[in-house]
A and B are shown apart, each in its own frame.
Chain A
Amino acid sequence: MQRDIPQATVWSVDRGAEMSIAGWLAQRWTGVLLVVFLLAHLVVAHFVVVSPTTGEISAGEVASRLQSGWFQVLDMGLLGLALYHGFNGVLRVIVSAGHVGNRLYFVLLGLFWIIGIALTYYGVLVFRAFLG
């Protein structure tokens, strides 16, 4: 029997409104990892290392902590994950406010990636400065 079943009507394909499953999962998993990393970072960087006399954190203490490989992984990983999760989230918020066309979406996406990579590189520079 002949049936007229329409395919999903494609209005204009709004790339911003699309969301890939992998992207959704990435946001969730980076979030979970961030909780762990952030907890470790707060404990290590802000409580353990604080100088007991002045209550300050000096450059020397930070540098000594960062000699160990684990802390390097922790800090750099935290930075990269946080930038990805954060900028992805901000992009999602902007897109869900509506009226974001394809061009604007890709401009924003490119902008966020560029800023993210630039900030990561900046972080690496800061890193190296601490190490000597």
Chain B
Amino acid sequence: MSSLAICPSMRALTRLGTESGAEHMTCYLPPIVEPEAIYDVSILRFDPDVDAEPHWDNYKIPFVRTMTVIEGLEWLWDQGEYIAFRSNCREFTCGSCAMEINGKPALACDTLLEDGIRIEPMSRYPVLRDLVVDSSSVARRYKELRLWPECKHDKDGKTCSTGDWTIDWDVIKRYRETYSRCIECYSCLDACPASHSDRSQYYGPMYMLQLGRAMEHPADEADRVGQAARQSGMWLCINCYECATVCPMQLNPAEVVGRLRRKVMKRPGLIMGRRSREAT
């Protein structure tokens, strides 16, 4: 079976056990290990210089226990199949490797390789190449919502008075457990059926989470509830909670939407005011 023997990535080896991993950590090449199985993997490829439109390619990847999708893609690179993909931390904390795996947005470094797996880029954004998408429109959306702690004094051109608030450790602790965990991987945006792109009227679950985060920020003085009511399009959220289902950090953007809606309903002036789309 030597022709089928392959070199799994170092990471897969280190997970198999300290022995097989540790002794080879010093040498660059991992040992030859018999694969448990050969998996069929389908990947949606697209090269803008060559292809007119994306097409599915099938590969056979030998599987070693605990092998992730990222490691599968890296194995393909080792074989000379240069599939473009983004990855950085490899430990589901940076959010770079989000893609649609079996039709559902997920982090590639957090998903085990399966037989018959289908890997495609996120459908929300334009594809640059293979699994890499162009998510530059997010910056525009952030600017539109002014998602930074905005000070009223900024409009005057004077400096912000930061002496009016103090650091509240409870707030920081809450942020660390909730808002700060968002790694902006765009999985929730990809899963949301009400927000189709960064040009849809409903901004998207991630933006609502960030809006909630700005709302609770002690240094922020902008009218976030008004923004939520009129600009964000959150009334189009249908409460399907897909965003909460796919979030790799187990956050719940739809719950933030509910919270913002409750706050809006406490302000009748907003309800009977102008149409919900106009920006503040």
Residues of A within 8 A of B (CB): 1, 3, 5-9, 11, 13-14, 17-22, 24-25, 96, 98
Verify A18–B275 contact, CB threshold 8 A. Answer: yes
Can you give 25 contacting A-B residue pairs, CB < 8 Å?
A3-B154, A5-B146, A6-B144, A7-B279, A8-B144, A8-B231, A8-B279, A9-B144, A9-B199, A13-B277, A14-B201, A17-B200, A17-B201, A18-B201, A18-B275, A18-B276, A19-B235, A19-B236, A19-B276, A21-B229, A21-B264, A24-B235, A25-B271, A96-B193, A98-B196
Taking CB atoms and an 8 Å cut-off, the chain B residues in 86-128 that contact chain A are none
| A20-B200 contact, Cβ under 8 Å, with A5-B143, A6-B140, A8-B231 | no
**Most central of B140, B201, B229, B265 by chain A CB within 10 Å:** B201
A residues within 8 A CB of B146? 5
Shortest Cβ distance from A98 into chain B, in angstroms?
7
B272: nearest residue on chain A (CB-CB)? A22
Verify B201–A9 contact, CB threshold 8 A. Answer: no
Residues of B within 8 A of A (CB): 140, 143-144, 146, 154, 157, 193-194, 196, 199-201, 229, 231, 233, 235-236, 264-265, 270-272, 275-277, 279
Shortest Cβ distance from B61 into chain A, in angstroms?
36
B194: nearest residue on chain A (CB-CB)? A96
| A17-B236 contact, Cβ under 8 Å, with A6-B140, A9-B140, A98-B196 | yes
Cα distance A5–B279 when bound, in Å?
13
Cα distance A92–B149 when bound, in Å?
35
Cα distance A25–B196 when bound, in Å?
23
Cα distance A98–B194 when bound, in Å?
10
Shortest Cβ distance from B154 into chain A, in angstroms?
8
A residues within 8 A CB of B276? 18-21
Question: 10 extra interchain contacts, Cβ-Cβ under 8 A, other than A7-B279, A8-B144, A21-B270?
Answer: A5-B143, A6-B144, A17-B200, A18-B275, A19-B276, A21-B229, A21-B271, A22-B271, A22-B272, A98-B196
B residues within 8 A CB of A1? 157
Cα distance A37–B247 when bound, in Å?
39
B residues within 8 A CB of A3? 154
In the A-B complex, list the 10 residue pairs whose CB atoms are closest, starting with the nearest. Answer: A8-B279, A17-B201, A24-B235, A19-B235, A8-B144, A21-B271, A18-B277, A7-B279, A20-B276, A21-B276
Shortest Cβ distance from B280 into chain A, in angstroms?
9
A25: nearest residue on chain B (CB-CB)? B271
Verify A20–B275 contact, CB threshold 8 A. Answer: yes
Shortest Cβ distance from B57 into chain A, in angstroms?
29
B residues within 8 A CB of A7? 144, 279
A95: nearest residue on chain B (CB-CB)? B236
Shortest Cβ distance from B228 into chain A, in angstroms?
11
Shortest Cβ distance from B74 into chain A, in angstroms?
37
A residues within 8 A CB of B231? 8
B residues within 8 A CB of A6? 140, 143-144
B residues within 8 A CB of A21? 229, 235, 264, 270-271, 276
Cα distance A18–B230 when bound, in Å?
10
Cα distance A120–B65 when bound, in Å?
65
